[in-house]
Structure formats: structure tokens, C-alpha cells
Amino acid sequence: MSSRSNYNNNSLHSSFKSKSVCQLNCRYCNGVLCRRGMKAILLADTRVELYSTDAAPIGVQLVANDYVTRNCLCQIRDVACLGCGNVVGYHVTQPCEVCMSACNNGHFWMFHNDSVKAKERMDPTGQKPLLWAQLLYHDKSPNSYDDECEIICR
Amino acid sequence: MLPPIQLNGFNNNTAVKYNNVSHDLSIIPSEKLKYNIHSWSSYSQPYHPKNIMVNKPQDQSSRWSSSSNNHMQFVTIKLDKMSIVKTITFGKYHKVHVCNLREFRVYGGLTPNNMIELLHSGLINDCKTETFALKFKTNDIVFPCLYIKIVPLVAWGTNFNFSIWYVELRGHTQQQIVEKAYHEYINYRENEVIRLCLKHFRQRCFLDTFNSLQQLTNIKLEDQLLTNLHTNLVINGDFDTTEEILYRASERNLFDDYIRDCQCKPVWRRINATDKNGNSPYMRGGHQMCIDSELGKIYMFGGWDGTKNLADFWEYDENLEEWTCLSLDTSKDGGPTPRSCHRIAYDSINKQIYVLGYFIETPDISANKESDFWKYDIASRRWIKLSSNTAAKGGPSLICDHQMLIEPKSQMIYIFGGRNQSKNNGEDNYSGLYSYSIKEDKWRLLRSDTNQPEYSVQLKSRIEHAMLINPETNELYIFAGKRYKDFTERKNNYLSDFYIYRIDDDSVIEVSKNYTMQGGPDGGFTQRATMDVELGEIYMLSGLLNEKNSNVDTIKNILWVYNIKKNKWTKIYQNTNYGSEYNNRISEIEPCTRFASQLVYDTKRKVHYLFGGNPGEVIDQSIRLNDFWELKLVRPNNEDILRSAKFHIRKQKYKEICNTGEYLQALKYLQNNVSEVVNHNDENESKEFRELTKFLFNIKQNPNNNPKTNNIQEKNDMLNDVYQERTELYEFLLKYFPNSMKEPLENLVDLVPIS
């Protein structure tokens, strides 16, 4: 589980709202893994930097079985890139009490730093980075591949 | 393009001629084959198919990865030279990977469009390199390949693309050999095409074409005996001579192949034998039996009676149907201590029995964990201790649930698998393949479980498997059993694979990675197997089963027959109900379900004997069985076949009499000659016979007797009808004859593509 602050359904702590939204590509096959990435640090080991997201990402799938690391008691399971099958991160299937009570960003999907390439997304003006505050909770649907560019038919 | 012609069924003399190439191939070592990538279905960047040519297990990108996981994916390899391809080796990533091929097929051929299947198997999702034997001959025809096509079917992770990391092919490229094989293969195909034409022309009554083609090519369609049969039956309509030919064929045992292929009927008989004092062996499981087929004597030693190990030693006389207790406790007669899960093997030349291994209870840490090795001399009734610790002499440590057998001519004992119980200082969990020379008193480790020759098929050790020896080919057949990754793992891992170990050249051939997938038995444990080398058959009685899609063990008595030549399993018996009530009720009809029983086969009398075992009683787990059974596998004999053949021949003759309009004669023939060859116990045949009367009321006008119709066309039609009917009868009768004698099974018309 990653980073501080409490996540309360549709309201993110202000420190997360100001973070930029990243698109994450697989470092191995370049396939799109996720369009809602957030740079974060691991709660259980703050030296570890990674990317996290709030909903099941489009380009990955769970593989193998749950396991527990030395850091905490969270049950986690690896996720692999659908393009090349390499393990690119993990999903917290059952968070532990310690992590849940600590300050976290509420994200259960993590990507290893060395497995992904991150690119900041731009806001509709194309000038400034897109911030988490501008992403709406109800847009969280994993299927909405492109959640800010609406195609208008007129 | 026509689909490939199946390579089966042709002349005996041609088969002998082609053996030369196969013989050469077993002597020459195989070499690594150079290749290039010829074509592929798709790939995703940067996983180009050419990556499979190099083995870099550390590099995640050194692989072919498809860009889709549909069933259209493939990679086709073109070899530098036309070669005889014998093995394929798959390298893998250094970690497990969801893109590894759980199931795949390999095809080979001389052109990319005309290939036959060489392998259907799957990879284990680990980092170990795997080697598979490829089919390179069928019916003794060695066929060279220029193209090899790998078709992924299922990846380990659903929804993931397929990846292949490394492919190595091994075989023969020597020009002389490959060219020889190529010419023989091409000749074979040319011959088969001519034979298919000959069959077609004769079937369609183009007899002039048939004769001229036969004369021009000098290729024989079939054995002379069958040509005689055809001439007499189809052309001359001489039914009496037809019957005579079949009778002579039966005298020459020509129906043996057919009889062997017939489904046999199991007949159980419970033997209630005792010794002279009225005693018989007590209940037990995990015991051992061996048989002296020559004298008809069965020996039984040890086992577990539900509470303790046994050391009693019995002899059963098949002719007298009588037990004799040779010893109530062999340890008091200078022999082995009480034991179970040991193995015994019988030396038919010196009439001696060997004993090795036993099971130790896990809490029993104080137990002596040294592996003793015994010999019993039947003539002198004496036990001889060959070794008190075989491990010290280079043999196996203390093992249980292994397999042991003797090749009597060479006086060699082979021991494979088993659980290693004295495991300390990093020894393998599973015992490997050992040989023991009786003459030299010398052990040799042929294959350890963990350290096996590179680029060869791995012989995974196991427990409670089956092992048999074919003394004609000097091959060990190894199949079934159980293997955990380690013994703490609780997951069932029942095997349904089949390997041949060739003693002469110390090589392993994989016959099947999973025979369940090919319609064979389910994976299981404590199977009991026997073999009849004469019939080319292996029999296997199932014990504990792990049936498809189930995690629960079931105990069923299922008897399978495996035809060695055809690589085919057939289920011939299963007792369907389970539960002690049912079991008790039928205890005189067939044996109740069990495992850890013992089964031996008398190769001379062709009878199986089954004794005891564990019924798997849930309430009282200490119950073991002491029932003794005889099992005969009954097949049709020559008389049955002749009778059935006569029925079909006389049916035709009767119909033809009906055609002449002589219905009184027809009726008389039906009542006398046809009736006497009908098996009235067979409902279908009896019905067919009764329905024959309808032809009496359906009499056609014979054009010869009818002055009004001089219509040649009509007459020809009728003759044609008769020719067709007789041809059908001829082809029906062919089923009794061996493939090597008869016309091709395929039909030319089936080779016409419909598109």
C-alpha cells in the first residue's frame, strides 16, 4: 500500500490532489498499462518509489497466487503486462491493518519503477500537467481508455 | 493440394526393406540442426521470431511473442538441410512466465503446406529446459523434414500471448542417410498412390484398367491369398471356395491380429484355496507377489495387515489350487524382517527371488535406515543376505514404493524410483534408476532424479508407479505413479506419462506426457501393471485415481489394456458401484474396489491373479483384504470368427439365389445352410437372420429367364449390383486379416478436396 493521507471515496487529501496524472507504459513491450498513474512511495518502506493507481488497470492481469512480503502483512498478487507477460507490479488483494490505519492514498494497484515508463498527461488546454484534482471519481471505470478527450459528434 | 496420405497398412516385404534406415539411425549420434525462421503468424515488438534461435534465459526480450492468443499462431522453421529430426528442446526464461506454452503441437514436412503432426505436448511453467522426442517414422518408414512448424495452443496465463524463448532441434543431416530415407519415403508414397488407384479401379469394376496398371507397375495391391479370395468371391461368386479359403486362413493363424484387436471380456473367479491345514494368507495391503509362469507357482511375501508389518512367505500352486506357507516369519528363518511397500522380483532362470526396500513409519526415528538386499533360493529354501546396506555399495538408499524387475538372460536387476527414506546430507527425495549385475554383484546408477544428461528426455523419478520389461527389445516401460515437488506439498500430483528406457543405448523415449489427454487412464497411484509380450499388450489395474476435474481421490477397479505397437489404451473393465455394502454383496462375483493390492500375470496360461489390498474403508481404516481372484480375458477365437464369416457369406449366397427366382431353393438354403451358422444368442444377428425372409417376397426377375427383356443395360445394372454387394462383403471379410496383407484402408475418393 502506498503513501499517506486518508482516502475517503470521492475526496482525496489535498496533498494528492496537486499531484500530476501519469500514463504508464510497459518498459519491455511499450504497451499501455494504465492512464491514471500516480508517483508514490511505499508505506512499508519509504525508500521504494513506485507508481500506483486507484482502479484495475487496462493493460494488466493478475497472475499466480497471493503472497506476503517481509514489509507488512498485506496479501498481494503480481500483475503482468498483457502484451509481453512480464510482471510489472502487484495488486493488494487484502490490505493489512497497519497499512490501512496509516496515512495512505487508497490505491491498491502498484507498478514497479523499473518496469514502467511514465509520462505526465496534459490538461485539456494542453499547456499544464493534468492533476488528480481534475480527475473525477466516477471516471474511474477501468474501461474508459481515454477519460479526458470526449469525442463530440456534431 | 491433396491432404497427406496416412502412412499405414502396406506390404510386409516393403516394411522389411525400410528397416535399414531405422537401424542406421540408432547407431549414429544425433547432432544439433541449423535452421532459419521461415514464417510466422504474428509477433509483438521487440519479440521477433528469430530470437528463438538463441538461448538467453536471463534476457526477457530474447523470445518470440505472438501479438495475439488465438489459435492461428505459429512459427515455421526451415532447416538448412533436409534432416531426420528426432528431438525438440525448449529453453525458457529464468523465472516462471505466463506466456510459456502449456499446450502446443509440432508439425514437420518437406513443404510448409504438407506437414504431419510430430508431437502434441506442453511445457511446465518453470525455468528448466525441456526436451521432447519427435515422431520421425511411422510403420518403419523414416521420413525426413525440411520444415518444422510449432503451433501454440494454450499459454499458462489465460489472455496472455504465446512466447517461445529458445528452440533447439537435433537429428541427422548426413547426406547419405537423409537421401536414402528421402528416396524410400518418396517411393513409399508413389507405391501407395498406385495401390490406392488399384483398389479404386477394382472396387469400381474397371478390371481392364486394374490389370493393365498392375502389369505396368508390377506393384501388388495385396497378398496373393486375398487376391484369390477376391477372385473367388467377387468375380466368380464361388462361395464354397470362399469359405474354404477363410478356413485355411484360420489354420494359418491369420486372424490373430484381429483377435488381438477385439475388445476382450473380463471373467473374474474367486479362488477359495487353503493350505493342507486349511489356512490361507491373512488380510494385507502393500504386500508383494511374483510368479513362475513355467511351473504355475505364485509367491507372496510381507505386507501390512492394517496394524503391523508382516514377514510371512507363501507359495500358491496354480494347478493344485493350493497354498503352502513357506515361512510364518522369515526373520526367524534367516530371512528379511517384517516389511511393507518393499519390492520383490523373480529370476526365472535360477528360480530365485530378490527383496529390496521397505517403508518406515515417520515417527520411528530410531529405526535402522540401511537398505538390506535379500535373495531367496527356491530349490534350497534358503535366504541369502546380499547386502546389509546397498547404498554403501553404490546402490539405492533405503527406499519404498519403488519398482524392481529382472532381465533373466543378462542377469541384470533394474530398480527405478521410490521414496528415499534415509534422506540426509542433501540426497534426492526420489531414488533414480539403478542396475544391479547379479553375476558381478555390482550396482550402477543409470539416472539420478536431479542430474540427467542434457538434451535428452528427462526420466522423472516417482513412487508407486509401474515398470515392466520387454525382453525382446530390451526396453523398460515406465508409467504412472505420483510425484510431489517435495514431500511437504499436500497437492496431489498423480502422473499419467509414459516413458521407454532403452537399456542397449541408455536413452529415454517419451511415449506420452499425458495419456489421459489421449483417451487413456486418469492419473493415478498404486496402479498394478502386467505385460504379455507375445500379444504386445500391457494391462493396468487402477488403484487410487485422481479423475479429471476432481481434487478428491476415488478408488475404482478399472482395467486398461495398452497396445504397445499402436500406442493405444482401451478400458475393458470397471466395477461401477462404490461403497462397502455393494462391495460385500458382490464379493463372489467380482473383487470390491481396492488399492495397494497385488496383481501378477501368468504369461503361459494367460491368467491374472489378484490378492488383497486396501479397500479404503473410511470408518475402519485398519481393514485390509485377503480375497484371492483369477482374471481371464476372453476374446473371440478362430471358430467364432469363421462362424460369423460364414454367416455373412451364406447370407450373400442366399440373396443371390433369391435373385434367380428359385425361391424354393432359396428357402431351403436359408433354413439349412444359413441357419446353422447363426449365433442365435446374439440378438442383433438373430434379428438379421429373421429379416432375411423378406428377400423371398422381393424376388427380382432374372433377365436371362425373361424373354421379354433383352435389355443389355438392365442386365448390366443387375450384374453391377451383385458386383457391388460382393465387393462390400469382400471388404467386410478383410477386417479379419492383418493390415500388412490387405489393400490400403484409405479410399481414393476421400482424397478429393471439397472446397
pLDDT tens-digit readout, B735-752: 999 999 999 999 999 988
**3-class SS of residue B90:** strand
Tell me the mean pLDDT in the region B338-346: 96
**3-class SS of residue B264:** coil
Tell me the mean pLDDT in the region B163-182: 94
Residues of B in contact with A86 (CB under 8 A): 60, 97
Specify the fold of B265-634.
Neuraminidase (2.120.10)
Give domain status of residue A2, yes or no.
Answer: no
Side-by-side strand order, sheet with B403-407: B403-407, B412-416, B433-437, B442-447
pLDDT on residue B7: 39
Q: Alpha carbon of B12 to those of B251, B254, B258, B729, B737: distances in Å?
A: 20, 14, 17, 24, 13
**3-class SS of residue B260:** helix
**Whether A80 and B45 lie within 8 Å, measured CB to CB:** no
pLDDT on residue B522: 86
The residue with greater pLDDT, B677 or B554, is B677
pLDDT on residue B322: 96
Give domain status of residue A11, yes or no.
Answer: no
Asked which of B122-131, B575-584, B657-666 is least confident by mean pLDDT, the reply is B575-584
Side-by-side strand order, sheet with B568-574: B528-532, B537-541, B558-563, B568-574
pLDDT on residue A152: 39
pLDDT on residue B485: 61
Q: How many CB atoms lie within 10 A of CB A113?
A: 14
* Residue A63 at interface with chain B, using a CB cutoff of 8 Å: yes
* CATH assignment at residue A108: 2.170.150.20
B596 within 8 A of B613, measured Cβ to Cβ: yes
Range of the domain at A88: 19-137
B410 within 8 A of B444, measured Cβ to Cβ: no
Asked which of A66-70, B151-155, B484-488, B651-655 is least confident by mean pLDDT, the reply is B484-488
Location of C-alpha cell 520389461: B469
Interface probe, candidates A25, A26, A29, A61, chain B, greatest B C-beta count within 10 A:
A29
Q: Per-residue DSSP letters for B422-446?
A: S--TT--SB--EEEEETTTTEEEEE
pLDDT on residue A132: 86
Query: Which one, of B380, B512, B370, B393, lies nearest residue B441 by Cα?
Result: B393
Picking from B45, B96, B157, the nearest residue to A29 by CB comes out as: B45
Tell me the mean pLDDT in the region B301-319: 95
Q: How far off is chain A from B65, nearest CA to CA, in Å?
A: 7
Tell me the mean pLDDT in the region B123-149: 90
User: Average pLDDT of chain B?
Assistant: 88
pLDDT on residue A12: 61
* pLDDT per 10-residue tile (average), chain A, 154 residues: 42 74 92 91 80 90 89 90 94 87 82 93 84 68 40 40
Q: How far off is chain A from B350, nearest CA to CA, in Å?
A: 56
Picking from A28, A30, A85, the nearest residue to B160 by CB comes out as: A85
* Residue A77 at interface with chain B, using a CB cutoff of 8 Å: no
Q: How far off is chain A from B58, nearest CA to CA, in Å?
A: 13
Give domain status of residue A154, yes or no.
Answer: no
B387 within 8 A of B338, measured Cβ to Cβ: no
* Residue A88 at interface with chain B, using a CB cutoff of 8 Å: no
CA distance B472 to B404: 18
**Whether B96 and A84 lie within 8 Å, measured CB to CB:** no
Q: How far off is chain B from A54, nearest CA to CA, in Å?
A: 22
On the question of pLDDT at B8 being above 50, the answer is no
On the question of pLDDT at B10 being above 50, the answer is no
**3-class SS of residue B240:** helix
Dihedrals φ, ψ of B159, to 5°? 75, -5
Tell me the mean pLDDT in the region B482-487: 68
**3-class SS of residue A47:** coil
Tally of domains in chain A? 1
> Treating both helix axes as pointing N-terminal to C-terminal, what angle do B207-217 and B175-203 enclose, rounded to 10 degrees?
160
Picking from A28, A61, A84, the nearest residue to B159 by CB comes out as: A61
**Whether A85 and B99 lie within 8 Å, measured CB to CB:** yes
**Whether B44 and A80 lie within 8 Å, measured CB to CB:** no
Interface probe, candidates A25, A30, A79, A86, chain B, greatest B C-beta count within 10 A:
A86
> Which residue ranges make up each domain of chain B?
31-173, 187-221, 223-262+637-704+725-750, 265-634
* Residue A80 at interface with chain B, using a CB cutoff of 8 Å: yes
pLDDT on residue B516: 86
Give domain status of residue A111, yes or no.
Answer: yes
Dihedrals φ, ψ of B488, to 5°? -80, -15
CA distance B180 to B133: 22
Residues of B in contact with A31 (CB under 8 A): 44
**Whether A63 and B157 lie within 8 Å, measured CB to CB:** yes
pLDDT on residue A8: 42
Q: How far off is chain A from B97, nearest CA to CA, in Å?
A: 7
Tell me the mean pLDDT in the region B542-562: 76
Asked which of B90-99, B149-158, B321-330, B446-455 is least confident by mean pLDDT, the reply is B446-455
**Whether B99 and A83 lie within 8 Å, measured CB to CB:** no
Give domain status of residue A126, yes or no.
Answer: yes
pLDDT on residue B16: 38
pLDDT band of B466, cuts 50, 70, 90: very high
On the question of pLDDT at B215 being above 90, the answer is yes
pLDDT band of B582, cuts 50, 70, 90: low
- Under DSSP, the state recorded for B715 is H
On the question of pLDDT at B154 being above 50, the answer is yes
* Residue A44 at interface with chain B, using a CB cutoff of 8 Å: no
Q: Tens of pLDDT along B624-633? A: 999 999 999 9
Give domain status of residue A9, yes or no.
Answer: no
Picking from A30, A61, A80, the nearest residue to B45 by CB comes out as: A30
Give domain status of residue A39, yes or no.
Answer: yes
**Whether A29 and B44 lie within 8 Å, measured CB to CB:** yes
Give domain status of residue A1, yes or no.
Answer: no
Residue A102 grid coordinates = 496509516
Q: Tens of pLDDT along B367-423? A: 778 899 999 999 999 999 999 999 999 999 999 999 999 999 999 999 999 998 876
Distance of CA B98 to the CA centre of its chain: 33
Alpha-carbon Rg for chain A in angstroms: 15
Task: Place domain B31-173 in its CATH homologous superfamily.
Answer: Galactose-binding domain-like (2.60.120.260)
On the question of pLDDT at B700 being above 60, the answer is no
pLDDT on residue B657: 92
Where does B95-174 have alpha helices with state H?
Answer: none
> What letter represents residue B564's amino acid?
I
pLDDT on residue A65: 87
Q: Tens of pLDDT along B600-641? A: 999 999 999 999 999 887 778 888 999 999 999 999 999 999
Asked which of A38-47, B119-128, B162-171, B263-272 is least confident by mean pLDDT, the reply is A38-47
Q: Which helix (H) or strand (E) holds B684?
A: helix B683-691
